[in-house]
Amino acid sequence: MEEPRGVQVRTAAEIASGDYRSALRELLEPDALFDRLISELLLLIPSADGALVGLVGEGGLIRFVEAAGALHGLVGSTLDPVHSLAGLAIRTGTVLRCDDVDTDPRVDAEMLRQVEMTSLVSVPLQHGGASIGVVNIVARRPYAFSDDDILRCTLLADFLASIICSSAEIAHVLDALAASDTDAAAVLGGTTSPAAVARFVSNVLSPSTTQLVDVRQRIRRTLDEHRFTVVYQPIVRLSDSRLVAVEALARFVGPPDEPPDRWFAAAAACGLGVDLELAAFAAALDALPHLPGHLGLCVNIGPAALATTTLKTILDAADARRVVVELTEHVPIDDYGHLQAVVSSLRYLGARLSVDDTGAGYASLTHIVKLAPEFIKLDRWIVSGVSTDPVRRALVVALVGFAHEIGARVVGEGIETAAELEALASLGVDFGQGFLLARPGTLEDALAFDHRVDHSV
């Protein structure tokens, strides 16, 4: 029979290799919309401090694939559904609310306390009568959510479930298009189960989730197995080159070209940044019993870890009078009042504060004004070229004058040339460290730099 003019018959394999498949593939990338909807949820519910979407994955665990607000760091983590409100919402298919984590036995209290949340609403994501996941909204204060808030969250959850399941159906069609002619009908005749939908979202809708899970597992192993070491770099007084302190620096087991900063950044991205910082801080303090009494120990910490009770507990168990806590961060801090109270409590224990990377961004200058540190560390970019650059010299003079005016002392870090060392000393910088003086190494290496007694720090 002659085919009608203008009509072209194609096999499924031909369709799969043509523009049809490309067009359908474009529909498989609603992740930008998905992410935007979660962010919009926080605008719809102003009392919420964070939102989180979890999907039921293999083994029944809830895997978090999208987040906004204070819960962004939990993307890629998993939750046991047995002892959680989210798991109960998924099992029962009902919207559940916790108004106070301290009085509700249904919730995973430990997880909520880790993110400093008190109120929680869990709305199940449903497809074909089965729950495929959950939308959580959380707030720091108790009794934060009204019935209207819950209604808005429920409506958005229904929309999200529609997006997820529609995209999964498209993926199902693409599987048929990619199959042989004989297999296509069988593929199209099947159904997408809730588990298949969950796998689709984890692997296609949010492809970064799988990578985050891998990173989280790596960081978790690093913490559980203590897969890192601590090295120490001398800090010397520039006026006479005497050793006055050592700075503790974490080094991790992994590719040699992966610097420590990337480890801490990766840990922060998967919600384990504070845990890793505190573990490194505690490990650094192990050197105190082996450090001569006149030498100080400088240890880095970020604002979030600094504000924890765990850090205070670690310092309380050590000789805090010999510890200089170096605050490291390049972004603004929202609540300086709380941080000032934390720093005051650490000073009560005898610890002193140093602001790291001064000059690398506006945040460090704000830290200095708000927290009045005992030490100010000049960032490497200021030190580099200070011997020949009049602008850098003027900046160092200004910072030294300001520091001495408030009773602080200045440390120049990253010193790599004799000219830089001489320039910093002539400009009144009190202390220095860098490769020119000594590279990070064992504690014994650092102490070998100078055995002379010095009580200035």
DSSP 420-432: HHHHHHHTT--EE
CB atoms within 10 A of CB 195: 15
**Are 270 and 176 contained in the same domain?**
no
Whether 5 maps to a domain, the answer reads: no
Q: Which domain holds residue 158?
A: 12-206
**Are 189 and 219 contained in the same domain?**
no
Whether 455 maps to a domain, the answer reads: no
**Are 132 and 175 contained in the same domain?**
yes
Whether 233 maps to a domain, the answer reads: yes
CB atoms within 10 A of CB 177: 19
Whether 409 maps to a domain, the answer reads: yes
* Core vs surface per residue 79-99: b (16+ CB within 10 A) or e: bebeebbbbbbbeeeebbbbb
**Are 166 and 315 contained in the same domain?**
no
**Are 240 and 219 contained in the same domain?**
yes
Whether 365 maps to a domain, the answer reads: yes
**Are 32 and 158 contained in the same domain?**
yes
**Are 155 and 27 contained in the same domain?**
yes
pTM beyond cutoff 0.85:
no
**Are 198 and 244 contained in the same domain?**
no
**Are 260 and 363 contained in the same domain?**
yes
Number of domains in the chain: 2
Last residue of a domain, one of 158, 178, 206: 206
Last residue of a domain, one of 161, 178, 206: 206
What whole-number distance in Å separates Cα of residue 85 and Cα of residue 58? 19
CATH code of the domain covering residue 420? 3.20.20.450
Residue-wise pLDDT tens for the chain (457 aa)? 444 444 344 444 444 444 444 444 444 455 566 677 777 888 889 999 999 888 887 667 888 888 888 887 787 778 888 888 999 998 898 999 999 988 888 988 777 877 889 999 999 988 777 788 899 999 999 999 999 999 989 888 888 887 776 665 655 555 554 444 444 444 444 444 555 555 555 554 455 555 666 777 788 888 888 889 999 999 999 998 899 999 999 999 876 557 888 888 888 877 788 899 999 999 999 999 999 988 999 999 998 899 888 999 999 999 999 999 999 876 667 778 888 999 999 999 999 999 987 866 656 778 888 889 999 999 888 999 899 999 999 999 999 999 999 999 999 999 999 999 999 999 999 999 999 999 999 999 999 887 543 444 4
**Are 200 and 256 contained in the same domain?**
no
Q: What is the DSSP track for 266-324?
A: HHHHTT-HHHHHHHHHHHHGGGGGGS-TT-EEEEEE-HHHHTSHHHHHHHHTS-GGGEE
**Are 220 and 321 contained in the same domain?**
yes
**Are 220 and 195 contained in the same domain?**
no
